[in-house]
Amino acid sequence: MAMQFYASPEQIMRDRSELARKGIARGRSAVVLSYEGGVLFVAENLSSALHKVSEIYDRIGFAAVGRYNEFENLRRAGVRMADLNGLSYDRRDVTGRALANAFAQTLGAIFTEQSKPFEVEICVAEVGAAPDDDELYRLTYDGSVNDEPGRMAMGGQAEAITGVLKAEHRADMTLGEAVKVAVKALGSVGGEGGAARTIAANQLEVAVLDRRRIGRTFRRITGAALTALLDGGVAEEPAGGPQTPTAPTGEAHKPTTSAASADLERRESEGES
Amino acid sequence: MFTNAGTSSFTSFLSKVAPEMLPGRRPLPPGMAADMAPHATTIVAISAAGGVVMAGDRRATMGNLIAQRDIEKVHPADAYSLVGIAGTAGIGIELMRLFQVELEHYEKIEGAMLSLDGKANRLASMIRGNLGAAMQGLAVIPLFAGFDLAAADPARAGRIFSFDVTGGPYEETGYDAIGSGSLFAKSALKKRFRAGLSIDDATKLAVEALYDAADDDTATGGPDLTRRIYPVVMTATAEGTHRLTDAETGAIAEAVVSARMENPGG
């Protein structure tokens, strides 16, 4: 009969943490930060089909690093929970905080109960009416949650990247400036001998939660629009949507209003006659 | 319950975790229930060059009473499609909200929109789920129309689908109408519809057809000039869905009414 060796709970947790940390540090990084017009997500991603950054709900986005199958599972769970709550209550009742709590519960349970923890680190971001109202939650493999102050980096050499972000990030940056800071921070590590490197547009996944939109605020920035931003051209806002700032909760949303239509949004923002 | 691999369909997910939230899954006591809830009435849809127009009157009735004067029965289903509801208003609104979430959910989970035919088939299966209630008088019949992003010819990209209580969908050519006044609206459209109408002409035609429906059907409301309640008119084109403002529909409705002052038959 095989002999069962005793391992202390501390040792087990330490081993699991080490496994998760190593897995997360091996991957490429992602950066989330607030700017004047919303919340920006930039992830280094060689694939254009398998996303690290995605939409959860009207004003909530999701970014993750680590093992794709594991964070994809969490993302789907988040979309399901948000859609279920939005349908049973109202679209305004879906909050980033509730989602972050649910993710924390799930990750915490997996960390303690399963033999292998999820090797993921995720960010749940909710865009507010002003940069100060943005909420960024960092969730780690063991289910701990942190409320981040307007910027965060995950995965790879996250600490070095955070250093660059801390030095250069301001909440009143334009989209163009914010993208440049994010890409500079991501490229500040991983070059030859730890030097900086340049990251091409086709290796970046960029998306925003656009503060000024009502309804679904998540937009991906790809192709020519992204290249223009990186080249320092026009700080072009993602297409569509009203350009007047509006508070997310100040609108009289009708229960049957879909967030999908930009024109319906415009009509609402002007107020009905 | 949220983390199972599962499907990309929100209704399939609901049927596992919260079946009571699906219309048609609730046990109903026997008997007819047709007169106990407000009914939404006439919707018309017209395909035009480069898109489709859908319009609905604003009346909901309960027996001989007007239950609501300004109900909105035409809504965007997603960024490129429209849905209008006729029949039991409460179930119709629930079904429509669920359909909106279904489309958005698929889009978020899969990272791509359903095809227009896929959306119509999804709606058909949701109506089929309500068959039991429909047989007790709580029927809901939607009209679905949208801009087909995959269409080879953008001029023919506006497509219309109709349904019956057992599902469907049936693709319609040119135009269609549903609801109590649909007979009169379709008769009007039959004489006036021409293939390749512009979106603006189709919009006017839709308001005219609703006027004709209201003219002969008590459950359909005409343009209410005194209260400034006008039909809801929406379009779906390559630019997405668009709802005409009250000022725009008001101008069209007033022009239609003043033309009928001279010629009541249109």
Condensed to tens digits (0 to 9), the pLDDT of residues B69-112 reads: 999 999 999 999 999 999 888 889 999 999 999 999 999 999 88
**Average pLDDT score over residue span B7-35:** 82
The answer on pLDDT for B222 being more than 80 is yes
A265: pLDDT confidence band, cut at 50, 70 and 90?
Answer: very low
Given a contact cutoff of 8 angstroms between Cβ atoms, the answer to whether A141 and A27 are in contact is no
Which fold does the domain B38-262 belong to in CATH? Glutamine Phosphoribosylpyrophosphate, subunit 1, domain 1 (3.60.20)
Q: How confident is the model at residue A1 (pLDDT cuts 50, 70, 90)?
A: low
Chain A contact set for B3 (CB, 8 A): 73-74, 76-77, 106
Instruction: Closest CB to B243: pick one of A74, A86, A263.
Output: A263
- Model's pTM, two decimal places? 0.87
| pLDDT beyond 90 at A252 | no
Residue-wise pLDDT for A205-242, tens only, equals 999 999 998 889 999 998 889 988 888 755 444 444 43
B96 contacts A256? CB cut-off 8 A: yes
Measured in angstroms, the CA of A83 and the nearest CA of chain B are apart by: 7
Whether the per-residue pLDDT at A261 is higher than 90: the answer is no
pLDDT at A234: 53
Q: Does the annotation mark B41 as catalytic?
A: yes
Q: What is the ipTM of this complex?
A: 0.88
- For chain B, report the end-to-end CA distance as a whole number of angstroms: 58
| Structure confidence at residue A233 (pLDDT) | 56
Residue A253 has pLDDT above 50, yes or no: no
Cα A151 to the chain's mean position, in Å? 10
Q: With CB atoms and an 8 Å threshold, state whether A258 touches B76.
A: yes
pLDDT greater at residue B40 or residue B262: B262
B177-209 per-position pLDDT tens digit: 999 999 999 999 999 999 989 999 999 999 999
Task: Give the residue-averaged pLDDT of A240-268.
Answer: 38
Q: State yes or no: pLDDT of A264 exceeds 50.
A: no
Say whether residue B241 is in contact with chain A using an 8 A CB cutoff. Answer: yes
Q: Given pLDDT bands bounded at 50, 70 and 90, which one contains residue A168? A: very high
* β-pair partners for B87: B40, B140
Q: Are B18 and A84 a contacting pair at CB < 8 A?
A: yes
Share of chain A above pLDDT 90, in %: 59
Structure tokens at A183: 């890409």
Three-state DSSP at A226 gives helix
- Amino acid at the residue A186: L
Residue B108 forms contact with A (CB below 8 Å)? yes
Cβ atoms B214, B220 nearer than 8 A? yes
Nearest residue of chain B to residue A264 (CA atoms): B243
Q: Are B178 and B46 in contact (CB under 8 A)?
A: no
Q: How confident is the model at residue A245 (pLDDT cuts 50, 70, 90)?
A: very low
Minimum mean pLDDT range among A111-120, A179-188, A253-262, B50-59 = A253-262
Among candidate residues B109, B42, B50, the one with its CA nearest the CA of residue B242: B50
Using an 8 Å CB-CB cutoff, list chain B residues near A219: none
Q: A273 and B78 in contact by Cβ < 8 A?
A: no
Structural domains in chain A plus CATH codes: 26-268 (3.60.20.10)
Alpha carbon of B226: minimum distance to chain A alpha carbons (Å): 14
**What are the residue ranges of helices labelled H in chain A?**
9-26, 68-88, 96-113, 158-168, 175-187, 223-230, 262-270
Cα R_g (chain A), whole angstroms: 20
Contact B180, B42 (CB under 8 A): yes
Distance from CA of A117 to the nearest CA of B (A): 15
Cβ neighbours of residue B233 closer than 8 Å, sequence gap 6 or more: B53, B54, B55, B74, B203, B206, B207, B243, B244, B248, B249, B252
Out of B3, B7, B11, B41, pick the active-site residue. B41
- Give the integer Cα–Cα distance in Å for A110 and A185: 32
Statement: residue B123 has pLDDT above 70: yes
Query: What distance lies between CA B50 and its chain's CA centroid?
Result: 19
Q: Which of B111, B242, B245 sits opposite A51 (nearest CB)?
A: B111
- Rounded distance, CA B235 to CA B133, Å? 31
Q: Which residues from A are below 8 Å from B109, CB to CB?
A: 76, 79
Find the helix or strand (DSSP H, E) in which A209 lies: strand A204-210
User: Long-range contact list for B166-174, CB < 8 A, 24+ apart?
Assistant: B166/B127, B166/B128, B166/B131, B167/B124, B167/B125, B167/B127, B167/B128, B168/B120, B168/B124, B168/B127, B169/B120, B169/B121, B169/B123, B169/B124, B169/B144, B171/B120, B172/B45, B174/B46, B174/B47
> Over the range A51-63, which residues count as b (16 or more CB within 10 Å of their CB) and which as e?
bbbbbbbbbbbbb
Q: What residues in chain A have their Cβ under 8 A from chain B's Cβ atoms?
A: 49, 51, 54-56, 73-74, 76-81, 83-84, 86-88, 102, 106, 216, 240, 254-264, 267, 272-273
> pLDDT confidence of A75, banded at 50, 70, 90?
very high
Q: In chain B, where are the structural domains located?
A: 38-262
Nearest CA in chain B to A216: B104
Residue B137's pLDDT is what? 79
Q: Is the model's pLDDT at A272 over the cut of 60?
A: no
Q: How would residue A191 be classed by pLDDT, with cut points 50, 70 and 90?
A: confident
Range from A56-60, B40-44, B183-187 carrying the lowest mean pLDDT? B40-44
Higher-confidence residue: B266 or A178?
A178
- Compare CB distances from B246 to A87, A256, A273 and report the shortest one's residue: A273
Distance, in Å, from the CA atom of B238 to the CA atom of B153, rounded to the nearest integer, reads: 12
Neighboring chain B residues of A267 at a CB cutoff of 8 Å: 243, 245
What rounded mean pLDDT belongs to chain A? 84
